[in-house]
Structure 1
Amino acid sequence: MADPQLLSNVRALVGRQYGRVYAWDEVNAPMIRQWCEVMGVDNPLYTDPAFALGTEHEGLIAPPAMLQVWTMEGLHANNYPSGSTDENPYEVLKEMEAYGYASTVAVNSELSFTRPLRLGEKLYYTTRLDSVGDEKTTALGTGFFVTLVMSHFVEKAGGDEPVGELLFRVFKFRPANVQAPAKVEAAAVNAKRPLPGISDDTRFFWEGCEKGQLLIQRCTACQTLRHPPAPVCIECHSFDWDTVEASGRATLYSFVVMHYPEVPPFDYPNPIGLIELAEGVRLIAGLVGIEREQLQIGQRLQVEFQTFDDQLTLPLFRLAEA
């Protein structure tokens, strides 16, 4: 059974209203267009001004599912515009953690809309702790279903207008059957690099690496280069192909630096590049001999081959000499 004091504390919070969180930007066409591109939405009502002008909306509107997007903090957590509240609407979860309900899992999120958003409108939302259910026992553990409702408004001189709500529900619980992991005494094992999956379509590439050759698949019908290898040409759909040896000269098209989780035997931070070969195709490969602070898009690179565990030869890239 839950602690009576905990129940008293959380029930006292139910119905509490938390202050405003403002949007950084007005509803605008560039953000709508980018969101539609990412989500694969091609409705002209959102991106074609001429089409939208002839509809009942008399202009572009934002996709309803973007409601929450306008008031997000961005890349950095809790980075909201001036005037936004610094209250923590999740304080009820902190209260539960103090009583041993340390785990959280999202259960569901529901959007509802009053009307579409139009260009130039500025939003904010307020949060209400809608409910904390009775203590429940599930397969995950024992805890409480907590429901918050974020009510969104458009700022207006004559009175702010409600435009939609976001319901967000989580399960705050004590995990079931938690046991300390058994201590295993075992000799240290040197981890090896995982081997790639090799098929009839990719075998030529790995055999080329063993010989110090960076081989790219080429359609013999239309001369189109392609990578990763595939059985059919992406341009003319021919099944006929051969290979061409790349020069190894390349540029850094993009990159990421892996920090976590750390997986043996890789070294961390682990820079990985999207490499654009001089021949025009791109591939993903490790970057060597360069620090994170030195990485810049567009840098000239050169391939080199390294063999790991006496069984796997990989093409890696380092900065080309000036």
Structure 2
Amino acid sequence: MSDAGDGKGATLSEDELGARLKAYEGRRATVSGRGRDPVNTPMIRHWCEAMGDTNPAYAGPDAIAPPTMLQAWTMGGLSGHEGRTGDYDELLTLLDEAGCTSVVATDCEQEYVRPLRPGDEITFDTVIESVSERKTTKLGTGYFVTTRTDVRAGRALVGTHRFRILKYAPVRRRKPEQAARRPRPVVNRDNAGFWEGVERHRLLIQRCTDCATLRFPWLPGCNKCGSPDWDTVEASGEGTVYSYVVMHHPPFPAFSPPYAVALIELAEGVRMISDVVGVPCDKVRIGMPVRLEFQVYDDELVLPVFRAREEETV
């Protein structure tokens, strides 16, 4: 990274920088952090309304918190939280000085030990779990940094949250003849089956084999009955525009604003986000019938999109 800025990181060789970054592994980012609020019913209700999750386990006198809210109880807000050390900030500063001035969140993983219930007081510790070797990505060259947060209610561990970012030096120039490529989807163990179906031009929806509830996006367990067992059904491809936005700014490579991004309600009852094609973006309307098709962008990328029905575009 010889083209880094004027900071200390610019004087380090790749091996020296890698060694300094690795020295941060195992260091504490937060010690004895405390949730700003106990687990509470209003936050659970707001979360469920935003997610459209009607699981009865999250309401009533015996309510539990949705497991995926795990990180929400540890957020410090604009003022941060007590217990934060300077090690994580030092690590990010070192990467900034080495030219890795851009950041993007790449993925998170959660493990659940027991449910959280209203009234639980949350404490947590965060450790810098790993810093990768230097990686070259389509965004640029940089390092993946993973933190692990152990969340407790009282002294009991209730779950673990891993959060991974990429700190990178952005690509500064592109050959004029090189066309920008669409971003690749993030494929993980929970959604790999969906993307395998898309490659075969099939839109697969998960179905709980215990209660038959359909769900999308793909999840490791049923958000109605909690069962981890599931199979799939293939969507018919018919749907309507449930909601939409027209993107004007900011511009991204491989996208030409303005364009419409819609929340599509499939005939099966689940909803997914996708592009609406075949009609000018200012003609997209809530309730507009659409039909699934698969668009091939390059040798590696196939995406499901929705085309406005011909009778709606006349």
TM-score by length of 2: 0.48
TM-score by length of 1: 0.47
